[in-house]
Amino acid sequence: MQELREKYLSAVADVTDEAALEEIRLAALGKKGEISLKMRELGKMTPEERQTTGKALNVLKDEIDAALRAKKAALADAALDARLREEWLDVTLPGRPRRQGTIHPVSQVMDEVTAIFADMGFAVAEGPQIEDDWHNFDALNIAPEHPARQEHDTFFMHRDEGDDRPPHVLRTHTSPVQIRAMLEQGAPIRVIAPGRVYRMDMDQTHTPMFHQVEGLAIGRDISMANLKWVLEEFCKAFFEVEGVELRFRASHFPFTEPSAEVDIRCSWEGGSLKIGEGDDWMEILGSGMVHPKVLEAAGIDPNEWQGFAFGIGIDRLAMLKYGIPDLRAFFESDLRWLKHYGFSALDLPTVAGGLSR
């Protein structure tokens, strides 16, 4: 017994890796190990010999097993220490920066436009993108024969045969939101209606889905002068210039009377857009005084109340501010478009980045 004890404890003490340690365990305590074989010989002994030898073998087995476990733990600790020395890491170093996404330029411009009008007392109104025929056309004084009410201009929702409900469309403007706001709140009222709109159009400067913000202000003494001031203040804030000059050109919209297209003085010298200077004019929006029939449709007496309305293309504003000539850059799902014009999806552009390309 003493020889076995010294043999295996010495071997365990001298071993240097876990593979050799496992071989020692099998040689001593495995099914065919020396100590296991001696345990099988107990059946051939007398009861007195069995009691004495069995006790000694169990003590020896436990001692060797404990030595094996201790050595295995020591080898694991040594391996870990060696790995820590080899794979040293300075935990005081700063973490690796992670690239972050950023807001889309159209969303960025929409948020900024909303903030500017909020400073002038305009609340935000919202409405459904699928509109009924009355809110989208009739309430806005758009005649049945108007081109906008034809399938080549507007997306009509499918109707099953026998479905006699009034037509529903993907809204062609956010003007229906104004109707809903007036019906709900009455007059006086001052709101803007930003959101997506849809038209059957697709070229370099038009897409079937785009974004608008329309404004509405109704009061007893509101005039075109108030409209001009609001638009001038907006343009100064949005384009970040101290002064702007607007030009109102007579136009026609079914929902306003009188109606006007609004141009802004600008310069394209050197390929960069500069607002408020130069000899060029650029159309930026449509506007006018709310038509009396629109007020009547919204339950407001046009003999007591009057007001103005305007509509601006959010995508167009983004193009002008950031010098993007092709509207499809926003919608082609190709990051190379935006990156080409200075809008990497993983960069952080600033609103006040200037107007030059």
Beta strands 280-290 and 306-313: pairing type?
A: antiparallel
> Is residue 302 over pLDDT 80?
yes
pLDDT for the residue 336: 53
- Which of 140-154, 210-224, 266-280, 308-322 shows the highest mean pLDDT? 210-224
- Which of 3-12, 23-32, 220-229, 271-280 shows the highest mean pLDDT? 220-229
Q: What is the helix, strand, coil percentage profile of the chain, to 5? A: 45, 20, 35
Q: Name which CATH class applies to 105-341.
A: alpha beta
DSSP state of 355: S
Question: What average pLDDT is seen over the chain?
Answer: 84
pLDDT for the residue 338: 58
Is 3 annotated to bind a ligand? Reply is no
Confidence grade of residue 204 (pLDDT, cut at 50, 70, 90): low
Confidence grade of residue 340 (pLDDT, cut at 50, 70, 90): low
Digit-coded pLDDT (tens) for 112-138: 999 999 999 999 999 999 999 999 999
Cβ distance 326 to 306 under 8 Å? no
Q: Per the confidence metrics, is the pTM higher than 0.85?
A: no
3-state secondary structure 72-126: HHHHHHHHHHHHHHHCCCCCCCCCCCCCCCCCCHHHHHHHHHHHHHHHCCCEECC
Cβ distance 295 to 302 under 8 Å? yes
The three-class DSSP label of residue 221 is coil
pLDDT for the residue 347: 46
Average pLDDT rounded to a whole number, residues 162-166: 83
pLDDT for the residue 178: 96
Beta strands 246-253 and 189-198: pairing type?
A: unpaired
> CA 231, 236, 239, 243 torsion: positive or negative?
positive
